[in-house]
Structures are given as structure tokens and as C-alpha cells.
Amino acid sequence: MTNVLWLQGGACSGNTMSFLNAEEPSAVDLVTDFGLNVLWHPSLGVELGENVTAILEKCVSGEIQLDVFVFEGSVIQAPNGTGNWNRFAGKPMMEWVRALSDVSGFVVAIGDCATYGGIPAVPPNPSESTGMQFLKKDAGGFLGPDFRAKAGLPVINIPGCPAHPDWITQIIVALATGRGGDLSLDEYQRPATFFTSFTQTGCTRNMHFAYKVSTTEFGQRKGCLFYDLGCRGPFTRSPCNRILWNRVSSKTRAGMPCIGCTEPEFPHHDLAVGTVFATPTTLGLPNEVPVGMSKRSYLQVVAAGKGAAPQWAKDDMFVV
């Protein structure tokens, strides 16, 4: 039996809603097939008031063994570092976060707010929000760069706005079945199994990317979303086009640019009007080029691709 406790700080509950839609395995499978004992969850827990406080205190004291502590949402430290804007069970939430992290076998941050601060941490950041162990790209966050849970790992970051449900449940299964020590994490403490490839991997518009055929408005079924609409697929590490959402689609397959929500800089451009769904350019060349390419090599590839683009790459593939 693996004891799991899930708390929420400054967040919209989007990652909880995503988690409840998981299919492989489902949230129910975690309990029935993998022996998870959910001590409490803000949307699933039936205990209220003093009963919740008692569970938390027993975890902190060691009376209840806490195997996995899951946190969703940013750690709010306002006003003036007290955390009193986000109180829970008689204390500032940030005090519970530190106490529970110190006694837990594994600590898992779910979603951008918990991993890197997300939207609440966008300047001027009046809530003094931060992620569990990062603030955007800077290591440290609330728990500090040297924090390690009892099993020896730092905070396991599963970013996304929201995170894909299967990323969440599959990592929790790995922890529950004793494979947590085998997890390989990247430089931002994301599980490498999910965050090694780019969103562009598996994108159905890759042929348009190669031929520099551009989508010019949302929802179009032809063209690449990178050149004009600010798609961050070539810069964003995620399996969104390999592990499809609802087993059906993804943003780019539906004609919506990737917004780079699994990267620590999200939201990019601080949500400035006119920059989120636009590709900043200089003399017609994107200011950012795909990871692993120089601007010189990118320019050569674009010139060759555009000159070789066949007519069928410019046509709507769904029109008969």
C-alpha cells in the first residue's frame, strides 16, 4: 500500500481535472490495481475541517507514513513572505508544503504553477508565487536547490498547463511500484521518458514545416503553425504528438499553435498582446530557430524547402 497525499496551492484545479480524465491507467486503476491509498485530495477527499488537519499532522509526525506528496499550484508566499494569502488547515499552505516535503518518500510537482511558478509568477508577481524547486529557469524555488526527498530524488516535475493525465498517473505508478529510483530526470527535473523529444515530434504538419508552407489563421488544416502563428513546437520538450490527448488529437493537429507550456519560461512573452500567437522576426527570419540549428543552417534549409515545395503540400489534404 502506497500512501499518497495531494494538496493544492495557487492554481485553477486544471491538473486535477486532467488527472481525473486519465485512461492508462485511470485514477480508479491507481487505487484498485496499484494499491494507492489516497490519504486526501482536494477534489476526492471526503474528510473536512479538523479531520484534514489531523491527517496532515499525522503525516508530519510520522504516525502515518507519507510515501508520495503531490502538489498542484504555485507556492504563494505573500504578503511579505508570510504565505497568509493561501491558508489551509490552520496554517499558511507553504508551511504544510515544507513540512510534508521533508517527511515524504517522493515529492511530485504537477503542472506549471507547481513546477516553475507558471502564470501566478509572471512579473510583477504580487502573490510572491514560486514553484516547488524552480522559479522559471532558476533552480531553488520554495524548497531550495539542495532539497531531496527521503528516497533521494529532488522534486519530480511534471509540467504542463495542464499536464497530460497519463504523464501524471504513469509517474505515480512508477513510484508506487518501487521504480521511482530508476527515474531519469532532465536538467529541469522532468522525467526523461516524457520530456526528451519535442512537441514537433509526430506533428502531422512536419511536411509543411519542411517546405515552409505556413498556416495563416487558426483552425486551418494545412500549413505549419511556426512561421506566422508563434507555434513553439520546435522548442518545447513534450510528447503531445506521441501521447495524444483523449487518444485523439493535440493542439497542432487541431490547428492551434503549441504555446510551450511544458517549458519553465511559460507563459512566454509574459502574455503580452500580439506576441503569444505571433512569430517574432528580424528581416523575415524568426528570432528563435529550432533547437540544434544555427540561424545560418536554418536559412539554408528554409530556402531549399520553400523552393522545392510541391503543390500538394500547399493544398488542404481534407478537401476531396
CB 232 within 8 A of CB 290: no
- When mean pLDDT is compared across 83-97, 217-231, 242-256, the lowest value belongs to 217-231
| The pLDDT of residue 317 | 64
Task: State yes or no: pLDDT of 180 exceeds 90.
Answer: no
Q: 82-88 long-range contacts, Cβ below 8 Å, gap at least 24?
A: 85/127, 86/9, 86/10, 88/7
CB 97 within 8 A of CB 113: no
Q: Give the position of cell 499558511.
A: 92
Phi, psi of 173 (to 5 degrees): -60, -45
What does the pLDDT look like over 20-79, one tens digit per residue? 988 877 777 877 777 889 999 998 877 777 899 999 999 999 999 999 999 999 999 999
For β-strands 91-92 and 68-72, DSSP reports them as unpaired
| The pLDDT of residue 171 | 94
What does the pLDDT look like over 181-207, one tens digit per residue? 788 999 999 999 999 999 999 999 988
pTM: 0.91
CB 24 within 8 A of CB 30: no
CB 251 within 8 A of CB 257: yes
- Provide the CB-side half-sphere exposure for 288 (13 A, CA): 16
Q: Which domains does the chain have, with CATH numbers?
A: 2-195 (3.40.50.700), 206-313 (4.10.480.10)
What does the pLDDT look like over 206-231, one tens digit per residue? 888 888 888 888 888 888 998 888 89
Q: Where are the alpha helices (DSSP H) in 82-178?
A: 93-103, 111-116, 165-176
Task: State yes or no: pLDDT of 320 exceeds 60.
Answer: no
* Cα–chain center distance at 2: 24
Across all residues in the chain, what is the average pLDDT? 89
Q: Give residue 104's identity as a one-letter amino acid code.
A: S
Residue predicted with more confidence, 15 or 254: 15
CA distance 92 to 84: 5
CB 98 within 8 A of CB 141: no
For residues 16, 21, 22, 26, the Cα torsion angle rounded to the nearest 10 degrees is: 100
